[in-house]
């Protein structure tokens, strides 16, 4: 960390072994180049495109990930429950009802700075979970009991652009950064909101570039043409890494700068 700037890298949905491979060979170089203090990776699709397993968690952490967020596919594979149990840095959306396995936020110290990471899931076009807006407020209250935590980052795993933008504006000034995940398509709307919260609607995807959100494009097209339930398979093409890099003021918790990461690897 330099000049009270806490540097954060958030990477979008990692798809299968291709996405894991892209990070294994390239993430540490990005971290070094950008002098990143904290790396947050959405890994809910890291296991064959759907779900998360101990092997992929280990790969993402070895590649340089500090916190692994997820979303609606975290339950896709039974091993996902083991990940939530065994690895505190693996999060599931915090607004699942009470009794759901795992936890939805973490306070982590990096480069001498404490930062909180919250994982939330949207409801529009998805499951009818607890309200992400009220859940966020309650969690922020808990986090702010620790007066040494000024930086709060949210991965909002949601389908709806409206819901993502609304949550960010609702929390503007209360959190440092709100980054959307889930759609696998990087949006070009990175910005700093009026009260200092950084925002992007979707980080995008880390995995096969020439694909349909990571899957083999020919199979995807045939599914639409035939309406048959063909099994989707991960594409084998050149890879890309999508996300954002942000600088956050350690005193105010406000975002100073935010830029998209889009690298072909």
Q: How far apart are CA 97 and CA 119, in angstroms?
A: 14
Which long-range contacts (C-beta less than 8 Å, at least 24 apart) are formed by 214-222? Answer: 214/13, 214/15, 214/16, 214/18, 214/19, 214/45, 214/49, 214/184, 215/49
Q: How far apart are CA 73 and CA 81, in angstroms?
A: 11
Q: Is 73 among the residues known to form the active site?
A: yes
Residue 122: helix, strand or coil by DSSP? Answer: coil
What is the dihedral sign for C-alpha 51, 153, 109, 144?
negative
Crossing angle for the helix pair 79-86 and 54-63, nearest 10 degrees?
50
**Residue located via tokens 């998805």:** 126
Catalytic residue among 73, 157, 182, 184: 73
Q: How far apart are CA 85 and CA 57, in angstroms?
A: 12
Catalytic residues: 73
């Amino acid at each position: 960390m330099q000049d009270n700037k806490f540097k954060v890298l958030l990477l979008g949905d990692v798809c299968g072994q291709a996405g894991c491979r892209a990070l294994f060979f390239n993430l540490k170089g990005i971290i070094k180049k950008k002098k990143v203090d904290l790396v947050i990776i959405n890994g809910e699709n890291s296991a064959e495109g759907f779900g998360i397993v101990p092997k992929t968690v280990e790969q993402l952490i070895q590649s340089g990930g500090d916190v692994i967020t997820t979303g609606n596919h975290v339950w896709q594979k039974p091993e996902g429950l083991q990940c939530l149990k065994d690895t505190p840095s693996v999060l599931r959306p915090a607004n699942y009802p009470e009794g759901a396995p795992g936890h939805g936020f973490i306070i982590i110290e990096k480069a001498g700075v404490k930062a909180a990471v919250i994982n939330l899931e949207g409801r529009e076009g998805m499951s009818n979970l607890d309200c992400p807006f009220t859940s966020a407020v309650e969690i922020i209250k808990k986090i702010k009991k620790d007066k040494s935590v000024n930086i709060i980052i949210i991965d909002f795993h949601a389908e709806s652009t409206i819901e993502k933008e609304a949550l960010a504006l609702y929390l503007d000034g209360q959190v440092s950064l709100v980054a959307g995940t889930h759609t696998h398509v990087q949006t070009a709307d990175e910005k700093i909101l009026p009260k200092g919260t950084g925002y992007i609607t979707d980080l995008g995807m880390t995995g096969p570039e020439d694909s349909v959100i990571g899957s083999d494009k020919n199979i995807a097209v045939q599914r639409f043409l035939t309406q048959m339930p063909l099994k989707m398979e991960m594409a084998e093409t050149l890879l890309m890494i999508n996300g954002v890099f942000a600088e956050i003021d350690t005193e105010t918790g406000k975002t100073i700068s935010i830029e998209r990461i889009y690298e072909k690897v």
